[in-house]
Copies of this chain bind each other. A is one copy, B any other.
Amino acid sequence: MELKIFGHKSPDTDSICSSIALTYLKNQLGESATAYRLGEVRKEAKYVLNYFKVDAPVLLEKVCSEDNCFLVDHNEYAQSVDGLQEANLIGIVDHHKLGGISTTLPLSVRIAPVGCTCTIIYNLFKENNVEITYEIAGLLLSAILSDTLLYKSPTTTQADIDACKALAEITKVDVETYAMDMFKYGTSLDGMSIPEIVHMDFKEFTIAGNKVGIGQVFTMDLDSIMAKKQEYIDYLESSEYFAVVLAITDIIKEGSYLLYKADNNVISDAFELEAAQGVFAPGVVSRKKQLVPNLTSALEK
């Protein structure tokens, strides 16, 4: 019976791309298989599917005891499709820790401590001598660049880099430019208002007796914010907070651009830089570990 291949719930680029690529490989090897997804396709994966002109997998809501399932990019019941414990688990390809699944029959499991499931799938194509098409190479490459944050993530291994090099030759894309475009699109704030962006991930603190607000936005689409820089400042200034900071975090540059309602001295002091609206604070990526303690010690002075 047909094999259902799918990644985890709330699918990221790796879950989408690995389900499609492994399905293609199985089909080439003569096995009947279909790629599924367990949730909405996010912006980043949409960019990838659109760029390489590949259809999204079909939405899968639950499985039953007759279904033959193959997991990619996860190996825990909690992250998987409803009904999996009753279904037949035929195989797993993943790069995460072991999640305690048990089965009644032998199966295929391929887990490796690499940065991305698609790196393992790339190697499965090679082991099985199946040619990687332009489209499949594009999906595999995109997922590895996504999971490794263009090799910046500490989870990156040589196997990931080697796979990307080989895949870039098939797709003929400039890896750096393509990855940045993908990240920008994936983290684009298009269609969101300034209040929505400021409050997307906003927390309130009481520091030295005053109410302080700290918002953080992960995006590589800085330009769209900076184009409306003064409107952001006006919005922050109009707030009732004693001080408020919006950190626009660029995970590739490993730092945050800061917009704020606060005394310039406080910002200079907190982040050891010369304060100015939109200034880049290198290395500042965590609200809990950096933004809050730094602002606390500066405001308590």
Contact = CB atoms under 8 A, between A and B. Distances in A.
A84 to B, nearest CB: 12
Contact of A109 (B89, B103, B106, B109): B109
Secondary structure class of chain A's binding surface, majority of residues: strand
Interface stretch (A8-16, A92-100, A289-297): A92-100
Contacts of A227: none
A122 to B, nearest CB: 14
Copies of this protein in the complex: 2
A251 to B, nearest CB: 21
A113 B107 contact: yes
Q: How large is the interface on A (under 10, 10 to 19, 20 to 34, 35 or more residues)?
A: 20 to 34
A193 interface: no
B105 A97 contact: yes
Nearest to A114: B106
Contacts of A96: 106
A108 B104 contact: no
Contact of A108 (B100, B101, B108, B112): B112
A87 interface: no
A104 B97 contact: yes
B111 A108 contact: yes
A98 to B, nearest CB: 4
B109 A110 contact: yes
A113 B108 contact: yes
A127 B102 CA distance: 28
28 contacts: A89-B98, A95-B106, A97-B102, A97-B103, A97-B104, A97-B105, A97-B106, A98-B102, A98-B107, A98-B109, A99-B102, A100-B100, A100-B102, A105-B113, A106-B111, A106-B112, A106-B113, A107-B111, A107-B113, A108-B111, A108-B112, A108-B113, A109-B109, A109-B110, A109-B111, A109-B112, A110-B111, A127-B127
